[in-house]
Amino acid sequence: EKIKDVFKVSPKVGKEQIKQLKTVRKRRDDARVGKYLEELKAKASTNENLLPPIIQCVESYASLGEICDVLRSVWGEYRENVLV
């Protein structure tokens, strides 16, 4: 059966998001962001609850990409085993 009404995002939306991200990065306190990202990295190596340091990162205007990069640096990235 053919799929109907597939949602497509306008390229304008992507450009606007990039513009907004650049604005946020200009206005935020990079030292504060770096501090909280480092704290997240330290906690990610333990069994402690990660929600509080993630919230600190978000409140300091760290991007989702920056937060995920920190977690990937600690845990790596899942790669599914391919069986042939």
- For residue range 49-70, what is the model confidence (pLDDT) as tens digits? 999 999 999 999 999 999 999 9
Provide the token pair at 52.
């509080």
pLDDT at position 53, please? 98
Amino acid letter, 29 = D
67 close to 40: Cβ distance less than 8 angstroms: yes
What does pLDDT average to over the chain? 94
Range 62-82 average pLDDT: 95
CA atoms within 13 A on the CB side of 18: 5
pLDDT at position 21, please? 94
pLDDT at 8 over 90: no
Q: Residue 23: inside a domain, yes or no?
A: no
Q: Residue 75: inside a domain, yes or no?
A: yes
Its domain, for residue 78, covers 30-84
Q: How many domains does the chain have?
A: 1
The pTM for the full model equals 0.80
